[in-house]
Amino acid sequence: MLYQLPNGKCIEISVEQYLKLTDRDLKELESLNWGEEINDPFAISVLRYGPASNKDYEYEDDEIEPDLNDIADEDKLSDRDFYDEDEI
């Protein structure tokens, strides 16, 4: 997606990246003069270039994390990522 910074410059980021950005991150991008000016209203438009292919969104099976309900309780208790040592 295209996101226009307050200084008028546009950056191309995914929705996930946008949701992770804080106000401070956006101000830093603006202060660095990041992005480019886009005068074409149809830049990166589906109307001009067609829909995106699904090849961009293919994931490996190794990249998909299992649901917490699918992990055995013994594995959760022995994994440091699932508990806080300070609370024990």
Helix (H) or strand (E) holding 12: strand 10-12
* Between residues 53 and 80, the one the model is more confident about: 80
For the chain, where are the alpha helices, taking DSSP H only? 15-20, 23-31, 46-49, 73-78
pLDDT at 19: 92
Query: Is residue 77 predicted with pLDDT exceeding 60?
Result: yes
pLDDT tens column, 22-53: 999 888 888 888 888 877 767 667 677 776 65
Q: What is the pTM of this model?
A: 0.45
Q: What angle do CA 6, 41, 52 make, to 5 degrees?
A: 100
pLDDT at 88: 62
Residue ranges of domains in the chain: 1-50
Query: Is residue 66 predicted with pLDDT exceeding 60?
Result: yes
